[in-house]
Amino acid sequence: MHSVRELCEVAFGLVGLDWQRYVRIDAKYLRPTEVEELCGDASKARERLDWQAGTTFRDLVRLMLEHDLADAGLPVNVP
């Protein structure tokens, strides 16, 4: 399970930036009525489709970042 904070840490870290310099958390946008943790369960896909994830969280964030950089016309040099 991964948080939005972890996604920011990984994405900004991949391009050598400190996410805390660019992201602000505004408490007015937090939703207090929601559950603390939401977690997907891929067991049904694994059982019925014989599927297993082949991409790590870090690699998925890297792929999304590379796409967004290319889409914006920026150089794509993500380790």
**Interatomic CA distance for residues 40 and 62, integer angstroms:** 21
Q: The whole model's pTM is what? A: 0.76
**Interatomic CA distance for residues 24 and 78, integer angstroms:** 24
From residue 31, give the alpha-carbon distance in Å to each of 8, 46, 70, 79.
19, 32, 33, 35
State the average pLDDT over residues 10-20. Answer: 94
Q: How confident is the model at residue 17 (pLDDT cuts 50, 70, 90)?
A: very high
Residues in the chain: 79
